[in-house]
């Protein structure tokens, strides 16, 4: 069950801040996807030697020997 809260009881500024916080969380999480499995700063630098500057860089890097999920 959820409690009913009248619309006038909600502070619009608080709702806007909560929405902004959630949006920031989602965007930050998605920006980290290409690097989250690489493990170390050195592995990230090797996978993206020129940095992450293009939209295509937001795709996960190809799996290979640098990936933590691949065993040698």
On whether the pTM is more than 0.75, the answer is no
Q: Is 20 within a domain?
A: yes
For the stretch 23-65, pLDDT in tens is: 999 988 888 887 888 888 898 888 888 777 766 666 666 666 6
Please list, residue by residue across 6-45, b when 16 or more beta carbons sit within 10 angstroms of its beta carbon and e when fewer do: eeeeeeeeeeeeeeeeeeeeeeeeeeeebbebbeeeebbe
Domain count, the chain: 1
Residue 40 counted as domain residue: yes
Question: Cα separation of 35 and 45, whole Å?
Answer: 10
Instruction: Give the C-alpha separation, 35 to 16, whole Å.
Output: 30
Range of the domain at 46: 11-58
The tens digit of pLDDT for each residue in 22-32 reads 999 998 888 88
């Amino acid at each position: 069950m959820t409690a009913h809260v009248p619309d006038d009881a909600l502070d619009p500024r608080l709702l806007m801040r909560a929405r902004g916080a959630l949006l920031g969380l989602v965007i930050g999480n998605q920006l980290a996807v290409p690097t989250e499995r690489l493990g170390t700063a050195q592995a990230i630098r090797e996978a993206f030697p020129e940095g992450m500057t293009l939209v295509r860089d937001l795709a996960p890097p190809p799996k290979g020997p640098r990936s933590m999920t691949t065993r040698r």
